[in-house]
Amino acid sequence: MNPAALRAALTSLLVVSAAAAAEVPSDLQVFLLIGQSNMAGRGTVEADDLVPDPRVLMLTKDLAWVPAVDPLHYDKPGRIGTGLGKTFGLVVAEARPGTVIGLVPAAFGGSSLDEWAPGQPHYVNAVARAKEALKHGRLAGIRRAGSRRRTGGRAPRAARCRSRRGTRSGSSGSATSS
C-alpha cells in the first residue's frame, strides 16, 4: 500500500471506529458475498476505496457492523485489497433509495468448490455469518464471484442456470454468477 493510501486507511479507521458505535438499523437488506479471490478482492486500495457511505455497512470479522470500506474481506491478510463488494453495495443502495445495505464478506481466495459444500469450512463460516447478519434485516441476495480455473473453465451447469434465471427475473440481486 502506498503512503497516501496508508494515511487514508488510518483516517478511515478512525471514521469507521467512531461510526461503529452508531446504532445498526433493524431493516438492513443483507447481501452475502461469497466465492474466491475475485470476490475477496486483490486490487490496490486507493484513497477513494476508503471513503465510507452511510447507506452501505459491512459485517466485520468480529461480527460488528461498520461502514463499508475496502478491503471488505479478511481471508488472506497479506493479499487482501479492493474488490467488487463495496461497489456492488453502492450500486444497490443507489437503486434503492432509503435502504441501508448490509454486506456480509465471506469469500476465500484460492478455495475449491468442495470447500463450499454443505458442512465444509467456508460454507459453515458463510452460514454462521449470514445468521448473525439476519438479526438486523432480511437476506436480499447472495453474490458469488470466483475463478474459472477452479471449475475447469466453466461454471457448473446449475450455477449457470441460476445466473440466467436471476438476471432475467429482475430478482433482488440473489443471482449466482461466476
What does the alpha-carbon distance between residue 1 and residue 116 come to, in Å, rounded to a whole number? 31
Domain count, the chain: 1
Give the predicted TM-score (pTM) of the model.
0.71
Task: Note whether 66 and 135 are within 8 A (CB).
Answer: no
Task: Note whether 12 and 51 are within 8 A (CB).
Answer: yes
Amino acid code (one letter) for 17: S
Give tens-digit pLDDT for 8-22.
Answer: 444 444 444 444 445
Host domain of residue 124:
3-169
What does the alpha-carbon distance between residue 125 and residue 171 come to, in Å, rounded to a whole number? 25
Q: Is residue 174 part of a domain?
A: no
Note the pLDDT of residue 32: 93
Q: Is residue 152 part of a domain?
A: yes
Give tens-digit pLDDT for 152-162.
Answer: 444 444 443 34
Note the pLDDT of residue 102: 96
Note the pLDDT of residue 94: 95
Q: Is residue 90 part of a domain?
A: yes
On average, the pLDDT of the chain sits at: 76
Give tens-digit pLDDT for 51-99.
Answer: 999 999 999 999 999 999 988 888 778 888 888 889 999 999 999 999 9
Q: Is residue 38 part of a domain?
A: yes
Q: Is residue 176 part of a domain?
A: no
Q: Is residue 177 part of a domain?
A: no
Q: Identify the residue whose cell numbers are 484460492.
A: 110
Q: What CATH number did the domain enclosing 90 receive? A: 3.40.50.1110
